[in-house]
């Protein structure tokens, strides 16, 4: 590839034409293509969410029938989880930035990287095909035996998720190899940027947990196609076994989503406080601790399923333990701000939003991990609010922070910073408007996945739905800011924020080979005391 590449030309200009993108082995182009597809997924999932919230304005039918509503909430969940949140930060920003941050020219297996992109695309196409084949209505959890008896396209959707899993595994394998073998000379494990640590922890979970999902989904497909009788009680199977299998992957998957977001937080806080991270080792170890413990908490999704009291006790205990490394990270970020030189930019606002919303998600997560409290709150809107505070208030805020922070590096363009700050404030308001009221509604007893509801809950639903319009407007504004930047943005300098990690030492956008000369690392990644700002 790039036979005529000139070492001073940006990777955009190194080669041209549609084929130069489709056949590219460049991690930056692959990362950008991932970013485009992932944003498309977010758009589709987000519009579905807006549609759901609109329908919930009234307990009567507005636009959707019960069945259509069930299909749309299932798709909203499946699209957001499998097409957006899981690949979001690792596949898009991880691909683009991991080699830059560790001083490498590419990932360890560039061809595998391109393959994982194509597999992701295939999986996404299968999910889209499933929508047209009688869109699935089981909830993204596919619980049996409902998913066995549903007359919708369960098999196609499940196979789509199965294929997407391989994309995730391949990216994970690639990152592990890259981090082990491709770090620049002098970059020991503890001189590596913390974003890379979080990608490493994430990759371990991806590689170890995703095969379990693959097996589970295959068994479900077999159950539907030839009735093997593993999960179907009518054939002597056990639906609770399916719940165990499903969450054995899907709970670690929550950490596949949140760990890279936490990684982004470290980059944001150090750059915008011009200060070394507080407690580097504790943060790195806590990523690994979270990855390890995340494998043994899945049972907290089954507290009212009929799982034994003893199992419930163990899973509750371990769930509390996983809260500790998460809390440590939050305290370390706060401590990093102490005596810093804090620059309040749009990406830093998203850092602050993450701290705020992730903490709300964390505290309510502790409530849900408490056995006696979970019995009442399980499967109500309280849970819906909780996981949106973690997934959207956490992961999406970090994703937006990353998008703003690395945008100048990735595109070579600046965006309108005052407008972006305004949009960030609007997102904060809109998000809390939609979801805070759902805590109250849930603890009052409103069950989730309800198409219609008792009239007494309508005021809560109306408040939440109006909030969804604010949030939608905020996201449209963010989209406008970036589209405008692409068309009219000022050229970005190499280091617009004053960052220290290696990506800020090279041109914006980077050249095809990233580094003219592979750097030699002597300092800690965020050592603002001793290192000059490039």
Partner 1 sequence: MADQVESLVEHGNIWFPDAAGSMATKVDFLYSVTMWVSVVIFVAMFLVGLYFVIKYKRSAINQKAESHVTDNVRLELAWSFIPFVLLMILFAWSFRDYLDLVIAPPDAQEIKVVAKKWLWEVEYPELNMKALNEIVVPVSTPIKLTMTATDVLHSLFIPNFRVKRDIIPNRYSTLWFEAIKPGVFQLFCTEFCGDGHSEMIGIVRVLSEPDYQEWLLAGSEDESIPLDELGKKLYVSKACNTCHSIDGTDMVGPTWKGLFNSDRNLQSGEVVTADDNYIRESIVYPQVKLVSGYQPVMPAYAGLLSDRDIDGIIAYIKTLK
Q: Which of residues 416-435 bind partner 1 (CB under 8 A)?
A: none
Instruction: Give the x/- contact pattern for partner 1 in 44-63, rule: CB under 8 A.
Output: --------------------
Q: Which of 63, 456, 483, 493 binds partner 1 (CB under 8 A)?
A: 456
Q: Which of residues 126-145 bind partner 1 (CB under 8 A)?
A: 137-139, 143, 145
Q: Which of residues 214-253 bind partner 1 (CB under 8 A)?
A: 233-234, 239-240
3-class secondary structure per residue, 413-455: ECCCHHHHHHHHHHHHHHHHHHHHHHHHHHHCCCECCCCCCCH
Q: How far is the CB of 337 from partner 1 (least distance, A)?
A: 4
CA 512 to chain centre: 27
Q: Which stretch binds partner 1 (CB under 8 A): 102-110, 161-169, 366-374, 420-428?
A: 366-374
Residue 463 as a binder of partner 1 (CB under 8 A): the answer is no
Q: Which of 1, 22, 218, 324 binds partner 1 (CB under 8 A)?
A: 324
Rounded Cα distance between 30 and 23, Å, is: 10
Please, which residue, 27 or 275, has the CB nearer to partner 1?
A: 275
Please, which residue, 27 or 404, has the CB nearer to partner 1?
A: 404
Closest to 78 measured CA to CA, from 144, 146, 141, 163: 141
Q: How far is the CB of 339 from partner 1 (least distance, A)?
A: 4
Q: Which of 54, 121, 450, 469 binds partner 1 (CB under 8 A)?
A: 450
Q: Where are any strands of DSSP class E within 153-220? A: none
Q: Which of 355, 385, 478, 512 binds partner 1 (CB under 8 A)?
A: 355
Q: How far is the CB of 360 from partner 1 (least distance, A)?
A: 7
Q: Which of 54, 146, 387, 436 binds partner 1 (CB under 8 A)?
A: 146
Q: What's the N-to-C CA distance of the chain in angstroms? A: 30
Closest to 163 measured CA to CA, from 92, 202, 223, 214: 214
Q: Which stretch binds partner 1 (CB under 8 A): 364-372, 388-396, 413-421, 477-485?
A: 364-372
Q: Which stretch binds partner 1 (CB under 8 A): 203-211, 385-393, 428-436, 443-451?
A: 443-451
Closest to 156 measured CA to CA, from 213, 217, 211: 217
Residue 452 as a binder of partner 1 (CB under 8 A): the answer is yes
Closest to 193 measured CA to CA, from 122, 126, 100, 108: 100
Q: Which stretch binds partner 1 (CB under 8 A): 89-97, 304-312, 402-410, 471-479?
A: 304-312
Please, which residue, 197 or 482, has the CB nearer to partner 1?
A: 197
Closest to 34 measured CA to CA, from 169, 160, 171, 157: 171
Q: Which of 331, 476, 483, 520 binds partner 1 (CB under 8 A)?
A: 331
Q: Which of 52, 290, 360, 506 binds partner 1 (CB under 8 A)?
A: 360
Q: Which of residues 170-189 bind partner 1 (CB under 8 A)?
A: none
Closest to 79 measured CA to CA, from 171, 157, 172, 163: 157
Q: Which of 39, 128, 335, 477 binds partner 1 (CB under 8 A)?
A: 335
Q: How far is the CB of 151 from partner 1 (least distance, A)?
A: 7
Encoding tokens for residue 436?
Answer: 């805070």
Q: Which of residues 505-534 bind partner 1 (CB under 8 A)?
A: 528-529
Q: State the residue for tokens 């670690």.
A: 252
Question: Angle at CA 407, nearest 5°, toward 401 and 410?
Answer: 135
Q: Which stretch binds partner 1 (CB under 8 A): 19-27, 337-345, 386-394, 419-427?
A: 337-345
487 CB burial (10 A radius; 0-12, 13-18, 19+):
exposed
Encoding tokens for residue 246?
Answer: 């499903």
- What count of residues does the chain have? 534
DSSP 234: G
Residue 436 as a binder of partner 1 (CB under 8 A): the answer is no
Please, which residue, 54 or 453, has the CB nearer to partner 1?
A: 453
Please, which residue, 67 or 180, has the CB nearer to partner 1?
A: 67
CA 106 to chain centre: 23
Residue 479 as a binder of partner 1 (CB under 8 A): the answer is no
CB 330 within 8 A of CB 357: no
Residue 5 as a binder of partner 1 (CB under 8 A): the answer is no
Q: Which of 3, 111, 132, 151 binds partner 1 (CB under 8 A)?
A: 151
Q: Omega into 509 within 30° of 0, i.e. cis?
A: yes
Q: Which of 342, 476, 479, 483 binds partner 1 (CB under 8 A)?
A: 342
Rounded Cα distance between 449 and 268, Å, is: 36
Q: How far is the CB of 103 from partner 1 (least distance, A)?
A: 22
Helix (H, G, I), strand (E, B) or coil at 193: coil
Q: Which of 278, 406, 497, 504 binds partner 1 (CB under 8 A)?
A: 278
Q: How far is the CB of 525 from partner 1 (least distance, A)?
A: 12
CB 290 within 8 A of CB 322: yes
Closest to 171 measured CA to CA, from 200, 198, 195, 203: 203
Question: Angle at CA 487, nearest 5°, toward 485 and 493?
Answer: 50
Q: Which of residues 70-129 bind partner 1 (CB under 8 A)?
A: 70
Residue 484 as a binder of partner 1 (CB under 8 A): the answer is no
DSSP 235: G
Residues 6+ apart with CB under 8 A from 276: 270, 336, 524, 526, 527, 528, 529
């Amino acid at each position: 590839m790039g036979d005529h590449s000139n070492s001073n030309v940006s990777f955009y200009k190194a080669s041209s034409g549609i084929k130069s993108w489709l056949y590219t082995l460049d991690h930056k182009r692959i990362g950008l293509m991932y970013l485009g597809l992932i944003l498309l997924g977010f758009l589709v999932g987000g519009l579905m969410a807006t549609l759901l919230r609109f329908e919930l304005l009234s307990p009567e039918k507005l636009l959707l029938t019960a069945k259509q509503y069930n299909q749309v909430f299932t798709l909203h969940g499946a699209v957001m989880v499998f097409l957006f949140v899981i690949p979001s930060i690792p596949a898009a920003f991880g691909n683009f930035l991991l080699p830059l941050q560790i001083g490498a020219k590419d990932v360890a297996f560039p061809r595998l990287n391109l393959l994982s992109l194509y597999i992701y695309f295939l999986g996404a196409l299968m999910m889209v095909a499933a929508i047209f084949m009688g869109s699935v209505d089981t909830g993204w959890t596919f619980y049996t035996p409902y998913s066995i008896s549903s007359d919708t396209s369960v098999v196609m959707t499940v196979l789509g998720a199965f294929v997407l899993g391989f994309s995730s595994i391949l990216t994970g394998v690639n990152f592990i190899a890259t981090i082990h073998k491709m770090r620049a000379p002098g970059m020991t494990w503890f001189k590596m940027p913390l974003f890379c640590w979080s990608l490493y922890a994430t990759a371990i979970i991806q590689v170890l947990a995703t095969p379990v999902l693959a097996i589970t989904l295959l068994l479900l497909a077999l159950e539907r196609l030839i009735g093997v009788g593993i999960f179907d009680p009518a054939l002597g199977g056990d639906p609770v076994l399916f719940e165990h299998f499903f969450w054995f992957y899907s709970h670690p998957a929550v950490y596949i989503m949140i760990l890279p977001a936490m990684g982004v937080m470290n980059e944001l806080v150090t750059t915008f406080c011009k200060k070394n991270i507080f407690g580097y080792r504790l943060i790195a170890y806590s990523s690994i601790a979270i990855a390890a413990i995340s494998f043994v908490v899945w049972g907290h999704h089954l507290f009212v399923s009929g799982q034994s009291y003893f199992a419930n006790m163990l899973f509750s205990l371990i769930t509390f333990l996983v809260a500790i490394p998460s809390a440590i990270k939050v305290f370390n970020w706060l401590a990093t701000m102490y005596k810093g030189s804090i620059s309040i930019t749009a990406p830093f606002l998203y850092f602050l939003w993450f701290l705020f919303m992730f903490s709300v998600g964390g505290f309510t997560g502790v409530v849900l991990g408490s056995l006696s409290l979970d019995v009442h709150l399980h499967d109500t809107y309280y849970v819906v609010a909780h996981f949106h505070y973690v997934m959207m208030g956490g992961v999406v805020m970090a994703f937006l922070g990353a998008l703003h922070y690395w945008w100048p590096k990735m595109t070579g363009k600046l965006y309108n910073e005052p407008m972006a700050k305004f949009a960030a404030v609007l997102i904060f308001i809109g998000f809390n408007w939609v979801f805070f009221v759902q805590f109250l509604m849930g603890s009052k007893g409103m069950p989730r996945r309800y198409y219609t509801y008792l009239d007494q809950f309508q005021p809560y639903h109306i408040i939440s739905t109006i909030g969804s319009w604010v949030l939608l407007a905020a996201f449209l504004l963010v989209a406008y800011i970036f589209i405008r930047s692409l068309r009219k943005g000022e050229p970005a300098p190499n280091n617009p924020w004053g960052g220290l990690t290696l990506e800020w030492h090279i041109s914006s956008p980077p050249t095809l080979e990233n580094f003219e000369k592979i750097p030699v690392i002597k300092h800690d990644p965020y050592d603002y005391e001793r290192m000059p700002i490039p």
